Every structure is written in structure tokens, then in C-alpha cells.
Structure 1
Amino acid sequence: MLPIFALLSLLTLPAPVFGQALVPYTVQLNSEKLEEQGLNLAQDAVQLVRFQQSQLALPRAQLATQLAPKRYETWFILGSLYVQNEELDKGIQALQQARSLDRKEAGILFTLGSAYFQKRDYTTAISNLQEGLKLKPDVPEALFDLGNSYYMLKQYAPALTAYEKAVAQEKNFWPAINNIGLLKYEQGDIAGAIEKWRIAIGLDKEAAEPQLAAAVAFYTKGEKDKGIAMGESAIRLDNRYADLQFLKENLWGERLLADTKKFLENPKIQAAIAQSQNSPSRIESSP
């Protein structure tokens, strides 16, 4: 693209005066070629994101929207990058532009739902996710986000329905099973919560969250040694889960947080936390 922009800049220079002998040559830009170049840049941006190079991806995505402004794909990718970088207002604006260009792309609505969830506008998140699910009803991640949005509004019945639909679409989707456990615990069903967390642990033995949640539940119901052993294991896997604020950000409810606070004050758990802070921790990547 550099030769094109260099040529365009030359066109702004004043032309020499030769009477009427010469007619300035006008460059005819091929709009289809520019659009194709824009889509290629957008694809480059996607590849860079896959290699965790989002800072390099963003300027390419921005340029892509200039070269192909009438293609929803460029705005969709740009909006998604902004949301990933937590520039939520810019992301929503770009995604709404993508939405104006294609009303049938469910992914745009799912990403809008995620953006509004991060802004804690759970009602608008639900609206976008539901609209997207009307177009594409079998996406477990979107159903999971829908469940989370209802959960944050303490609308537990529709949250449970959404989580169960997500698991029905993908039976090994342990985050949804884990969050059913969170929901059940808030409702006072400790046994039901433990059952879900055991299933989640069976699906991913490296997942610290369901291990710590189950540890707290066992400890609270009187099985202290079992709870402490599980808790020590969970903290060794990922010591972020020893932080109450981090747990709150991961949708742990008031009842579970209160019990976790007591659990984390146990001297053996305090020792496990101190030890984990002095040694490298395996940080899991949450879906």
C-alpha cells in the first residue's frame, strides 16, 4: 500500500504552470483492489491476535476499516480488538457499525453482549445475546455469557437454563458446569454445588476454580481436612484464587465469598498461599 499513499501525496503538490499545454494526469484508484487490501489487512490482524500480538493487530484493523468501510468484517474485527483491549466504548461503536452493515451475523451480537457485560450493563448484554441466539442458537459460549448476565442480576432460573443449554451443546464445557455450582451454592444447595464442581474437576484436573470452590464447601460443611487438602492443591495450581477480589470478578457470590474468607484465614491455607507466592504458579487460561 505504501506506493499508493506516496502517489496520492504527490497529487497534492502544486502543478507547474505550462499554459494550457499539459493536462494533469488523474490516478484512477481501483476501489475493489482497495477493499481486497482492507480485507487482507483484517485477516492479518486476526492472525496476529492468534499469536498474542494485539498491539500490532490494532493498527492493521483500523486501516482495514478505512480501505473497506462497507464490509462488516473489518468493523467486526476492529470492534472485537477494542473489546479485547478493554476499550469498550470504541468497541461498541465499531461493532454497531458492523451491525449496520450485516444484520444477520450473530457473532457481532455475541461480542456486543460481551462488551456490555464488561460494562456491567447486564440488561443490554442479555438483549444482544438473546438476539444473536435467535440467529444462531447452538453456541455454548454465547449461552454461557447469557447465563452469566442473568446470574449477575440474581435471576437464577434463566441463568440455570442458559448454563444447562450450554452444557447440552458441549458436554465437556466445564466453566458452565462450574457456574451452575456457583449458582447452587448461592441458593443454599451445597451438596448440589459440590456435585457440579466434582464433575468440572473430572473434566479438567488443572482447573483451580472448581477445586477451590469444592474445598470451601467441604470445609464449611465440617470436612475440614478434606477441604484444606483440596484448597492447598488449588492454590498450587493458581494462587490468584486466593484473592477475594479476583474471585468476585469470576462471579463468586456473596455466600461463597463469605465462606471463602473464613477458609483463607486458616493457618494451613495461609501457609500454602505464602509458599505459592514464593514459587512459580501454573496460571490456567480461563475460557
Structure 2
Amino acid sequence: MKKLLIKTIWTSLICFYFFQIKIVQAIVPYYYFPTIKNLQKQGLYIGKNAYQLLYFGQYEDSLNLAKLAVKINAKDEKLWLILAETQIANKEYRNALNSLNKAEQINSNISEIYFVKGQVYLKISRLTKAKNALEKGIKIEPNNHKAIFQLGNILLMEKNYLGAIKLFDKSIKIKPDFWQAINNKGLAYFERNKINLSIKLFESAISIEENAEPLLGLASCININDTKLAIQLAKKALAKNPNYVNYDYRKEQLWGEKLQASTEILLQNEQLKKDVRLAKSKIRESS
């Protein structure tokens, strides 16, 4: 009897023990603590989503996601770069520069950091800083034709036409069908009164891409000698991009004073009045 009693007590105690464990497990939740590696993956995944939203024009949402990605993993320079891109899209230029500085502190050997910095400095009209940033990036990535082209554009703004032409040539050597650099060489040569060279360059750019800019540039070049063709080209240019009717817009595209004056004369032609009026109305509608 005694043995049976002891056995019963032990059985009860064991059952009670296991029963208590189940109760405790039912009350206390199980917490998952992610590893650093998992956090890094999650941050990168969110960063990629932010970049995708940016691509589709959802600027505010992309900015919020990029901020979250950086909070999760502040040691990844790629995430700081993505954040900077979203800040630029939202016109937060000072914040973008801070993000780029963070990326540079983590890894100073990434050319894109300096190329994006150059882009930001251009937007806030800090030409010297933009030039320095682009030059740093080009030292790391010497065959980046777009960065070399952008550096040439800064020299074009500074009216250093020969320097700009050299950089455009360098860019074209890397990418022969880079019509934007060919076009901008035409802009530079026009300001140096090399009209025949400008004509050839605008024609070359058009043969690659029939864009409004070289079309109108060529029209302005030949207006004196071939007004009929100039009007045809101007009509086509304004139909493709009405913004080129606007002096300030052309200035943003780095058109110099001489080409601007020539274009204004062309656009005053009676045969272009209707096209000019239509282009202006399209700009008003879109604004």
C-alpha cells in the first residue's frame, strides 16, 4: 500500500510538472530575434523596393522606404546611395548630400557616390564643388562617358568652350553614338563662331537620334543660307518638343548667347508663327 501511494505521488508530480510547462509555454510567447545577417538582407530588400518605387515615380513612398532601409542597416553604403537618390527626387538636396557623405565614410572608393554628388551640386548651382566631385568619380571610373560629358557641360556653362569640346570628344571616343555629346560639341562650336562645324555636328547627332535639340540647332545654323529648310526643321523640332520654343528652357539645355540670338530670329519668321503659338499653348496646358 505504501509503495502504491509513493508511486501515485510520483506520477502526480511528474504530470503536474509537464502540465505546468505547457501552461507556461501557452502564456509566454516565443520571440524571434533576427541575426545581423538577416537584418542586412531585410534592409537591402527594402532598399531595392524603394529604388523600384522611385523608378515608377512614387517619390514620397520611395523616400519613406529608403529611410526605413537605412534605419535597419546604417552600415551599407548602397542603402545611403538609394536614400540620396530618393531625396534628390523629392528635392531634398541638402539631405541628399548628407546621405552621400555617410556613404563616402563607409566606402570612399565608389565612383557613383561622387557622380551623384556632382548631380546634386549642379542642381544647387555649386559648379566648383560639382566639378571636384565628378573629377573624383572619374579617377575611380575613368571610362564613364556620362560623367565625362557632365564635366564637359560644366565647362560649357563656364564658357570654357575648348575645354568642353575636349571632354565631349573624350566621351564620344568611349561611346561613338552618344548623340548628346555630339550635339553639345555643336553648341560649343557655335559660340566660337565655327558655324560649319556646328552644322556637321548637329547633322551627325540627328543621324543617331532625331531629337528636337539638334533639329532646332541645325535650323538656327542654316537659317541665313537656307531659310526654307530651316523652317521645316524648326517645325519638326517644336512638334517633337514644344519646350524648345522657350528661351529659358533652351538656356537650361546650355544654349549659349549667340545660338539663342540666332534661334530667336528664326522663331520670329512669319511662317513659324502658328507653330510657335501652338508650342506655347502646349506648354501652358502641361504646366
Counterpart of 1:5? none
Moved more, 51-60 or 177-186: 51-60
**Structure 2, unaligned runs of 5 or more:** 1-29
**Which residue, out of 207, 219, 231, partners 1:202?**
207
**Which residue, out of 173, 176, 180, partners 1:175?**
180
Alpha-carbon distance between aligned partners in 1 of 2:208 and 2:38, rounded to the nearest angstrom: 48
How many angstroms does 1:55 deviate by?
A: 2.8
Question: Which residues of 2 match residues 45-194 of structure 1 at below 5 A?
Answer: 45-194=50-199
Structure 1 residues 27 and 237, CA gap change in structure 2 (3 angstroms): closer
Alpha-carbon distance between aligned partners in 2 of 1:265 and 1:52, rounded to the nearest angstrom: 37
The one-character-per-residue Cα deviations of 1:254-284 (angstroms, maximum 9, x if unpaired) are: 111111122212222221122445679xx9x
**Which residue, out of 221, 238, 242, partners 2:241?**
238
Alpha-carbon distance between aligned partners in 2 of 1:141 and 1:238, rounded to the nearest angstrom: 23
The one-character-per-residue Cα deviations of 1:53-85 (angstroms, maximum 9, x if unpaired) are: 333211111111111101101101111222233
Quote the sequence identity (%): 29
How many angstroms does 1:30 deviate by?
A: 2.9
Counterpart of 1:7? none
> What amino acid is the match of 2:170?
K
Moved more, 40-49 or 170-179: 40-49
Q: Does the residue aligned with 2:272 lie in a helix, a strand or coil?
A: helix
Counterpart of 1:213? 217
How many angstroms does 1:26 deviate by?
A: 9.0
How many angstroms does 1:161 deviate by?
A: 1.5
Contact 1:80 1:95 in 2 (8 A): no
> Number of aligned pairs?
257
Alpha-carbon distance between aligned partners in 1 of 2:46 and 2:282, rounded to the nearest angstrom: 42
Question: Which residues of 2 match residues 224-263 of structure 1 at below 5 A?
Answer: 224-263=227-266
Scaled by the length of structure 2, what TM-score is found? 0.84
> What amino acid is the match of 2:248?
Q
Alpha-carbon distance between aligned partners in 1 of 2:34 and 2:138, rounded to the nearest angstrom: 41
Moved more, 76-85 or 248-257: 76-85
The one-character-per-residue Cα deviations of 1:136-173 (angstroms, maximum 9, x if unpaired) are: 01111111111111111112222111111111111111
Counterpart of 1:20? none
Runs of at least 4 residues off by over 4 Å: 25-29, 276-280
Structure 1 residues 237 and 26, CA gap change in structure 2 (3 angstroms): closer
Corresponding position: 1:274 with 2:265: no
> What amino acid is the match of 2:212?
A
How many angstroms does 1:28 deviate by?
A: 4.6
Q: Does the residue aligned with 2:275 lie in a helix, a strand or coil?
A: helix
Counterpart of 2:38? 33
Greater radius of gyration (CA):
2
Q: Does the residue aligned with 1:42 lie in a helix, a strand or coil?
A: helix
The one-character-per-residue Cα deviations of 1:218-272 (angstroms, maximum 9, x if unpaired) are: 11x3321121111011111111111111000111111111111222122222211
Scaled by the length of structure 1, what TM-score is found? 0.84
Q: Does the residue aligned with 1:255 lie in a helix, a strand or coil?
A: helix
Alpha-carbon distance between aligned partners in 1 of 2:282 and 2:126, rounded to the nearest angstrom: 38
How many angstroms does 1:122 deviate by?
A: 1.2
Contact 1:92 1:112 in 2 (8 A): yes
**Structure 1, unaligned runs of 5 or more:** 1-24
Q: Does the residue aligned with 2:125 lie in a helix, a strand or coil?
A: coil
Q: Does the residue aligned with 2:139 lie in a helix, a strand or coil?
A: helix
Alpha-carbon distance between aligned partners in 2 of 1:63 and 1:89, rounded to the nearest angstrom: 19
Structure 1 residues 150 and 195, CA gap change in structure 2 (3 angstroms): same
> What amino acid is the match of 1:137?
P
Structure 1 residues 100 and 30, CA gap change in structure 2 (3 angstroms): same
> What amino acid is the match of 1:228?
I
